[in-house]
Structure 1
Amino acid sequence: MYKFEWDKETGGVILVSSSTSDLPSPRPVFYEELDLLGFDKYWEYPKSEEPLLWNIGRKYYYFGEMVAEVRGGNIFEDPKILFTDKGKDLKLKPIDLKGMIEKNIEPLKVLENEAIDFINDVYKKYKEKVDYFIVSYSGGKDSQVVLDLVSKNLPPDEYIVIFTDTTMEIPPTYEVYEKTKEYYQKLYPNLKFLYSKK
């Protein structure tokens, strides 16, 4: 499994086989999250489609430096934002995703090939024992990757995509689901999408 190091050039991360850092994997942070937490009162940043920084736990990292931590907060109370010296009065620029991907192309290919092997092994092992395989789709990044890998490796009439609406989704989740459904059904007209609402 890969670990990561911060990339000061792109603002992203570089996947490495070993690292001196024991930090868990970071997740990308978009402007919507910053707005929701109230960072817009302290920082300048664009409303970009690209992520702006990274989060681990409740700590925020920008170009490899911890710049803020969020404490508390609930439906009735705003969270408290604690800034480090490097986090004061920041003007954020988006992470250079293209540059980050280029720097990580080899480990990404390894991970992709491992996932494809796993999908194919499970398919061969169980295809005579089940009626359909199911791709559970949430509209998030992880399920998007799984759907993409499965769609490239299994016949479209051998699996079903199921979206479960918890009724607590944000509007962009529904938009992503509809666009994804439209895209994949153009590529694979036999692919079935099912919508389940709680």
Structure 2
Amino acid sequence: MPAKDYKNTSVINNRALIEGHVREILRLVGEDIDREGLLETPARVTRMYEEIFAGYEADYKDILGVTFDEKHEELVIIKDIVYYSQCEHHMAPFFGKIHIGYVPSGKIAGLSKFARLVDAVTRKLQVQERITSDLANILEEELTPHGCMVVVEGEHLCMCSRGVKKTGSQTVTSAVRGTFRTNAALRSEFLSLLKH
């Protein structure tokens, strides 16, 4: 039997199946699935999944497909992009801010494209480390900058509300590409400007 092609599936195409599974989960945890407060829960959860898992339908090339020729070859920073994602280990939310810096090589993207790219990468089952490297790799491939750096800050509810229950703990990850790897002054400039 061939492996399922998950890239060609979506919540929208599977609404009835997902609603049925949510209903069964509610029953299995001991809920009365016929009580008033839960009657519409499977449909609400499915609609929520359409939103929080929208990244499976995203096309990175389409998001960054429109670029502008610009001779600016100095550091550009887009910081404090808020994101929400779901931990692939527990399906619990994690969220925080993403900071992107890049040095264009004659091609720039509209600023809103970076926020859209963050949504596309984060709105799926993820781990923070992959989000960080995926964003850097996509920027490097699509914009071909001299270099880029991505810093992701996250608070993970799988760590705050269960298990060790360490509320307020932050995870910080980074990825560097191109000139950011070799130029310590550029990395320092990027990190220092994040504090302003």
TM-score (norm 2): 0.28
TM-score (norm 1): 0.28
